[in-house]
Amino acid sequence: MLRTVHLVTSANGAGKAALFHVLTDTLPSSEGKIIFDSRDLTHEPDHNRVRRGVVRSFQVTTLLANLSARKKLAATSCCRQC
């Protein structure tokens, strides 16, 4: 199974946090659908979204401070089972 990591970057106030809140079901969507890997996740609970690979990370700079970005990704990706 091919796995990818995507990055969303834009100016402050452009809606990045709101996008991730909707994608991860922290904030319910008011309209539209969330389609991921050809599946409609719009009404799926967050734990089902995580199983499908829709997860978010938080900007905590002190966590695992002694590891490189590559090692941090490797350390956290091993925890998700499909």
Question: Residue 63: inside a domain, yes or no?
Answer: yes
Strands, E, within 1-82: which ranges?
Answer: 35-36, 39-40
In a domain, 10, yes or no: no
Average pLDDT over residues 13-41: 89
- Tell me the C-alpha distance between 17 and 23, whole Å: 10
Domain annotation covers residue 43: yes
Q: Is residue 58 part of a domain?
A: yes
Domains identified in the chain, total number: 1
Output the pLDDT for position 78: 63
pLDDT category at 40 given cuts 50, 70, 90 is very high
Indicate whether 2 belongs to any domain.
no
What's the domain range around 49? 16-77
**pLDDT of amino acid 51:** 86
pTM value > 0.85: no
Q: Report the alpha-carbon distance of residue 75 to residue 63 in Å, rounded.
A: 12
Is pLDDT above 80 for 62?
A: no
Give the model's pLDDT for residue 82.
47
| 8 lies in some domain | no
Q: Is residue 54 part of a domain?
A: yes
